[in-house]
Structure 1
Amino acid sequence: MPAPGTPLRRLGFLTMGTFDPADPGPGHAFTLDLMVLGEELGLDSVWLRHRHLQPGISSPTAILAAATQRTSRIELGTAVTPLGWENPLRLAEDLGTVDVLSGGRLNPGFSTGRPMNFEAYRDALYPGTADAEEFGYERMERLLRALAGEQVSTLTGTRGVEVFSPRVEPHAPGLLRRTWFGAGSTRSAVWAGEHGLNLLSSSIVKAEPLEPGGPEVTDFATVQAAQVGAFRAAHPAGAAARASQGLVVVPTDSATAAQRSAYAAYAEARLPRTRAPQGPARMMFAPDLVGPAERIAEELYAHAGFRAVDEVVFALPFAFQPEDYRQILTDLATRLGPLLGWEPREPRETQT
């Protein structure tokens, strides 16, 4: 998307699906309602983020399976599933099942690396094997082989009345093409490109040089755009490789005065972390974009990372109220989207 006037091709949203631990049912039900609303508004996709051991969605595949029965068109994704928590073979079975139920709408996204706060629960997650677990790219490659339908078992054919398959079942042939990788560094972006995956670039990237031996660059937009470029340079599809940007975006056009005040306070509280790289990993956070849709559109077109893509997955803020999410989602689809040249999909099919 080089300049205003080039239409945004795909517009999606991401939610963490928060809930009250004392009564988790309503929060989960509302997440499903929000997904249905996204489809009714013509949005292209909805994505769920994992929140392990927190009051947020811990099992996106279960929620997405339910969503396949309440939606008919909107694409369903995870952004992202931290693979360190998962057994790739078992996860491939779940993903294949959800993709079949959805009619080929699943877009699973993953990240690799040692799980956050691993020492706090390592013995519960991997009793006796925590030190032997591999949390890098090899784990992701195991998942990709399983999704591709490669052999995972030597037991095949019929044994008595049972039939055994050498591959993961159900096999979803198009799922591998719709698999994404969440990358915050050039190294990860290049790895995703080399493996023919799609790229999810979020509101967090690593401060790093733009070329080997060069100085560290700490401008978020510049680094993000460079990572997208490196991804496409490594991808077999080149410039046609799919890459998505995911910032926290909160249009306020139809918001009440109280909502606008709460949104501004939320963004202001998170602003200090955006002023310099954070921690030993030198991670940078993008500021939240809050305000009228017209102003947000101008800010996006001035953002080098946004100009490098033609599809986005805007993240909803954490821990807001249901009416806030409905307002934000509606303004994304009816106010901001059109200003970016985006057109909603056809209304969803009538559910029977």
Structure 2
Amino acid sequence: MKNIGFLSFGHWSPSPQSGTRSAADTLLQSIDLAVAAEELGADGAYFRVHHFARQLASPFPLLAAVGAKTSRIEIGTAVIDMRYENPLYMAEDSGSADLIAGGRLQLGISRGSPEQVIEGWRYFGYGPAEGETDADMARRHTSVYLEILRGKGFAEPNPRPMFPNPPGLLRVEPHSPGLRDRIWWGAATDATAVWAAQQGMNLQSSTLKFDESGKPFSVQQAEQIRAYRAAWKEAGHERTPRVSVSRSIFALMDDRDRAYFGGNGESKDQFGYIEQDVRAVFGRSYAAEPDKLIEQLKTDEAIAEADTLLLTVPNQLGVDYNAHVIEAILKHVAPGLGWR
């Protein structure tokens, strides 16, 4: 069995070919797609967070709205860039959204990805302390956030408050019990995956990873997952961790599918460079008839290692088409792989 959800980047464009021509279109269709995915039996609705772009950004209003419209499906992010976040304010927002959803949030957080603007976090009022890198700052924000989620009091109460206080030091409210165990770290390297395990966070690994060995993407990602699980065991955490991977997977069921994705052919991993001349490996996409797709996916080591699979969806093609994409995987591919 495997948890299967979708991951939307939430693009919009004024182009006549786009099904999402405005931010409002993207937000409202994201809610509708989560509702449709739940009705189809999917396990998760996840959303990417990008600042300064025509994509989904501030996640908590959307997560709260999805939580209010659904009853079962997990609701998450992949990922929130912690360089941009005030950990205390984020604890309030995430606590509120999680309570609205009845404890279904699965929040992916990370240092973030290459940005639309130079040092965009500075416009949000944040900057590394002396001797820190921006990655250090993200981890510092994360450490504060994780500690706040424990729900322990830390703030000295006013002796003359507007409203009566409970005894002792005060905590950030609202507090959502259990959310601390549903925080995931998006790791691009083996070292950051190990760090996430040490901090007691679940692991998210996407369709991109820093190239650390020259091996195929799924092999490197599977090795990352094994390193994470070994570090988790060594840290002595009591609960069982969760691991997700993301993939672009399309079952060619009709002429629409073949028109959109049939030309992908035998997609292969791509090696290239991203920010700061870092060599990375980008995982292949999958597009084929269900029987062929099943045989191809059997060879993906990382999917086999993970308990959760997030299907990246082309959100600009509209809710109905993306529901079709999700349904095709759930009904015609997942059973053949033992996932359903």
Q: Note if contact 1:85-1:115 (Cα within 8 Å) is conserved in structure 2.
A: no
Q: Deviations over 1:69-90 (max 9, x none)?
A: 1101111011111111111110
Alignment of 1:36-75 (within 5 A): 36-75=35-74
| Gaps in structure 1 of 5+ consecutive residues | 1-7, 209-215, 344-352
Aligned to 1:248: 248
Change in CA separation of 1:13 and 1:94 when aligned onto 2, cut-off 3 Å? same
What is the CA–CA distance in structure 1 between the aligned matches of 2:154 and 2:293, rounded to whole Å?
48
Q: Note if contact 2:23-2:55 (Cα within 8 Å) is conserved in structure 1.
A: no
What is the CA–CA distance in structure 2 between the aligned matches of 1:332 and 1:78, rounded to whole Å?
21
Change in CA separation of 1:49 and 1:220 when aligned onto 2, cut-off 3 Å? same
User: Among 321, 333, 337, which residue is 1:336 paired with?
Assistant: 333
TM-score by length of 2: 0.86
Q: Note if contact 2:47-2:76 (Cα within 8 Å) is conserved in structure 1.
A: yes
Alignment of 1:149-160 (within 5 A): 149-155=151-157, 159-160=161-162
What is the CA–CA distance in structure 2 between the aligned matches of 1:148 and 1:238, rounded to whole Å?
16
3-state secondary structure, aligned to 1:119: coil
What is the CA–CA distance in structure 2 between the aligned matches of 1:70 and 1:136, rounded to whole Å?
32
Deviates more, 1:10-19 or 1:225-234: 10-19
> Which amino acid in 1 is paired with 2:306?
V
Q: Note if contact 1:51-1:57 (Cα within 8 Å) is conserved in structure 2.
A: yes
Deviates more, 1:132-141 or 1:96-105: 132-141
- Per-residue deviation, 1:33: 0.7
Q: RMSD in angstroms over aligned alpha carbons?
A: 2.6
User: Among 7, 18, 39, which residue is 1:14 paired with?
Assistant: 7
Change in CA separation of 1:123 and 1:160 when aligned onto 2, cut-off 3 Å? closer
Aligned to 1:197: 201
- Per-residue deviation, 1:151: 3.6
- Per-residue deviation, 1:329: 1.5
Aligned to 2:258: 260
Matched, 1:176 2:180: yes
Aligned to 1:138: 140
Q: Note if contact 1:84-1:112 (Cα within 8 Å) is conserved in structure 2.
A: yes
Alignment of 1:1-352 (within 5 A): 8-20=1-13, 23-112=22-111, 116-119=115-118, 121-126=120-125, 130=127, 132=129, 135-155=137-157, 159-163=161-165, 166-208=170-212, 216-235=213-232, 236-237=236-237, 240-253=240-253, 255=254, 257-265=255-263, 267=264, 274-279=269-274, 280-317=277-314, 319-343=316-340
What is the CA–CA distance in structure 1 between the aligned matches of 2:191 and 2:116, rounded to whole Å?
23
Q: Note if contact 1:96-1:171 (Cα within 8 Å) is conserved in structure 2.
A: yes
Q: Deviations over 1:148-171 (max 9, x none)?
A: 113442226762435376211111
Work out the percentage of aligned pairs sharing the same amino acid.
Answer: 29
Q: Deviations over 1:230-270 (max 9, x none)?
A: 000011359942111111111222x3x243122235x47x9
| Gaps in structure 2 of 5+ consecutive residues | 15-20
- Per-residue deviation, 1:24: 2.9
What is the CA–CA distance in structure 1 between the aligned matches of 2:242 and 2:311, rounded to whole Å?
16
Q: Deviations over 1:281-300 (max 9, x none)?
A: 21110011112222222222
Change in CA separation of 1:300 and 1:170 when aligned onto 2, cut-off 3 Å? same
What is the CA–CA distance in structure 2 between the aligned matches of 1:44 and 1:150, rounded to whole Å?
31
What is the CA–CA distance in structure 2 between the aligned matches of 1:260 and 1:113, rounded to whole Å?
34
Change in CA separation of 1:158 and 1:296 when aligned onto 2, cut-off 3 Å? farther
